[in-house]
Amino acid sequence: MPTTTRNAPTPTKAPQRNVSEVEKQLASIRKELSAKLQEHRAGVLIEREPDDEGAAASQSLNRHLTVSILERENDTLEEIDRALKRLRTGEYGICEICDQTIAEARLKALPWTRFCIQCADRI
């Protein structure tokens, strides 16, 4: 009985963007986001005594929203760090799911993305 080997898709070449340009862009976004993150953290640490129940509810809602923003910003920082690592290893611009090139427009809009638009839609 003949054995068949399943051929995995051959990864395509990464987009021809200037690596140092992308690295500078990601570093700039990272720096800006880190500053925002520090600012939001400082806002969470400052506690004020609410005047009444309405103020307490508002303060609780604000704290919840700020924590959500902190989590999202922290996740984005982690994605940026991963993108910087992919730049160094030559894997930047290649979808982690299908191994195909991520469209240049998507990389410009979301430079830390790990997935092409088709795979991102599926997850």
How far apart CA 123 and CA 115 sit, in angstroms, is 10
Reported as a single tens digit per residue, the pLDDT across 62-86 is 888 888 888 999 999 999 999 999 9
pTM of full prediction above 0.85: no
- Asked if the model's pLDDT at residue 25 lies above 50, the reply is yes
- Asked if the model's pLDDT at residue 101 lies above 80, the reply is yes
What confidence score (pLDDT) does residue 45 get?
A: 63
% of the chain residues with pLDDT over 90: 54
Reported as a single tens digit per residue, the pLDDT across 36-52 is 888 877 766 666 677 78
**35 contacts: CB under 8 Å, gap ≥ 6:** none
User: What's the mean pLDDT when you consider all of the chain?
Assistant: 83
How far apart CA 98 and CA 116 sit, in angstroms, is 8
The CA distances from residue 13 to 17, 91, 92, in Å, are 11, 9, 10
Average pLDDT over every residue of 3-32: 68
What domains appear along the chain, each with residue ranges and CATH number? 17-92 (1.20.120.910), 93-123 (no CATH)
- DSSP H helical segments within the chain, as ranges? 19-45, 53-89, 104-109, 117-122
DSSP state of 97: T
Q: When comparing pLDDT for 19 and 100, which is higher?
A: 100
